[in-house]
Structure 1
Amino acid sequence: MDDRWLSVDEIADYLGVAKDTIYTWVTSKGMPGHKVGRFWKFKKEDVDAWVREDGAIDRLRTGKLVNE
């Protein structure tokens, strides 16, 4: 099982969004992430649950869960 922490680049690629979108979601939409020094790190399972719980619902409804 791959239980490692993902970087902003990796989680953005996984979700198909821009890095700036990840930073916005972390700071204003409560996307689960942890600051390690000056870097943000993410657990894929936490992010998956957040998306399922409508964390990114505005993007999903408009079909804009893609790079901007």
Structure 2
Amino acid sequence: MNVTRDFAPPFSLIAPFFLMGTLFYVLSTILLFTLESDASVSQMQTAGWVHLFLLGFVMM
């Protein structure tokens, strides 16, 4: 099976998504250590971190 690169976008178009995904991953990892150990899901700080991680890293 031959994989063609004819339909693939140039890397310069998708490179910003990789860079932003990496930035959000590093930022959410740093902020993970600021969460309290007894933080529950109903707290806004925890919800904010989950939002940053999922939308920033996973969706990028």
State the TM-score, normalized to the length of structure 2: 0.29
State the TM-score, normalized to the length of structure 1: 0.27
Higher Cα Rg, which structure: 2
Structure scoring higher RCO (CA < 8 A, sep ≥ 6) equals: 2
Kindly indicate which of the two structures has a greater share of residues assigned to strand.
1
